[in-house]
Amino acid sequence: MDARLAELLALLELERLEVNIFRGASHDIGSPQVFGGQVLGQALRAACATVEPSRTSHSLHAYFLQRGDFNAPIVYFVDRSRDGHSFSTRRVTAIQHGAQIFHMSASFQVPQPGVEHQIVMPDVPPPESLPDSAVPPRATLEALPEKMRQFWARARPFEFRMIEPLDLAHPHKAPPRQHIWIRAVDRVPDDDALHRSLLAYVSDFHLLNTATLPHALLFLSGKLILASIDHAMWFHWPLRVDEWFLYAIDSPSASGSRGFSRGAVFTRDGRLVASTAQEGLLRVLETPAS
């Protein structure tokens, strides 16, 4: 297996300390704090470990309370809130250095038939016609500030092919929407719960920065502070993250130093398999941050 993907899968394998208590390692991906997708994925894995395997996750709602330290492990406490006839609910609290850094509610359901409908997948070019945009070209990286360069230069366990490519070194105002083909860089084991946790992990990429596109000139100024506040996700159908899927993101609003984005995840054949929503901090400083 590709080393990048193997490292991520190992990150999602939690150590069970007690019946409802788990510990996960942290990983530095170049961001100033623990990547939010890591905590989402690990928290969902912890919740899944306390639910009957026949029940699959269909939604999660999470809040990021404070920055995580990627130099220290994270402990996850799972509260078995309810096990009903069809649904199970779990509440997960993430602790680091004795303080809560994150909490999440997740719901699980016994698969059941019902009425079906969905929106139509956007008409976009296929991934094979687009260049890999996971790592920007060398000239672009060299033009970025050091902290941004560290983040964007990291090799990822996922491929990204952007329909609307970003010019990170010379940003310009653009409509707040993105369409991105994504897939894991190698084959993932046949475990539906694992694929959902990996989708939760990668769903945190590009959501918040979509809200910055109409304000692109601030992105490199050092005056724009970005941080995820919350993250919600709904799983409509099973999917494989090692097959191409389209992440269609838009940002309907920014106000009150907050930006709101939402995303739709489509399989290659057009099935809507998941939806996301996130609000994040978009705070503009009078002077650049140190």
Ordered domains of the chain (ranges, CATH): 3-111+127-284 (2.40.160.210)
Helix 3-11 vs helix 36-48: crossing angle, to nearest 10: 60
The model's pTM = 0.92
Residue 218 is given by DSSP the state G
The residue written with tokens 């969905």 in the block is 118
Q: Give 266-283 pLDDT, tens digit per residue.
A: 999 999 999 999 999 998
CB 62 within 8 A of CB 30: no
The residue written with tokens 């050092």 in the block is 222
Distance CA 241, CA 255 (A): 33
Catalytic residues: 204, 228, 278
pLDDT exceeds cutoff 70 at 150:
no
Residue with the larger pLDDT of the pair 34 and 51: 51
The secondary element (H helix, E strand) that includes residue 106 is strand 99-109
pLDDT exceeds cutoff 70 at 129:
yes
Residue 216 is given by DSSP the state G
